[in-house]
């Protein structure tokens, strides 16, 4: 963990693929993770230190997958390394109803951020900087980890 805290890349127009105001942490996948998935630490691990090392797709319906930390920057199979945007701007898997400026939280679809509503008992993880296109949008991740 604590792999990078590079926040000084200041080239205008570089896009979200560059380290442009983004903080990245590296985790291990407990299950298959797809690029842009909202991920959570895996609280099902028996060893407490592994709970902060392994990630799963964030899912509001799974008690051990509710502690979202950010969005996967690469796909990975179980046991492989996953870079996760824990703060800053990145592409994200979002609900189809996402509009620019929406607050996002853990959704009911595993790995997908949902639009926050006052009736939802989940923290805001990101803000959409654009409306979704085919369940994908650029978001600004609010640091949780």
pLDDT in tens, 85-137: 999 999 999 999 999 999 999 999 999 999 999 888 889 999 999 999 999 99
| 11 is a domain residue | no
The pLDDT value recorded for residue 22 is 85
| 59 is a domain residue | yes
| 5 is a domain residue | no
Tally of domains in the chain: 1
Question: 42 falls in which pLDDT band (50, 70, 90)?
Answer: very high
Greater pLDDT, 54 or 119? 54
CATH of the domain at 120: 2.40.300.10
| Distance from C-alpha of 76 to C-alpha of 98, rounded to nearest angstrom | 26
| 6 is a domain residue | no
Helices (H) and strands (E) counted in the chain, each on its own, are 1, 9
Residue 31: CA atoms inside 13 Å, Cβ hemisphere, count?
Answer: 13
């Amino acid at each position: 963990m604590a792999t990078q805290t590079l926040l000084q890349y200041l080239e205008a127009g570089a896009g979200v693929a560059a380290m442009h105001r983004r903080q990245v942490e590296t985790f291990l996948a407990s299950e298959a993770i797809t690029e842009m998935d909202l991920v959570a630490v895996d609280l099902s691990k028996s060893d407490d230190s592994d709970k902060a090392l392994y990630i799963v797709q964030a899912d509001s319906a799974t008690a051990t997958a509710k502690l979202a930390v950010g969005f996967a920057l690469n796909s990975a199979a179980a046991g492989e390394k996953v870079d996760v945007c824990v703060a800053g701007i990145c592409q994200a898997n979002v609900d189809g109803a996402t509009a620019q400026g929406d607050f996002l939280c853990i959704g009911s679809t595993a790995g997908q951020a949902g639009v926050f509503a006052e009736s939802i008992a989940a923290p805001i993880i990101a803000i959409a900087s654009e409306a979704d296109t085919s369940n994908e949008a650029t978001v600004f991740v609010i640091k949780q980890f």
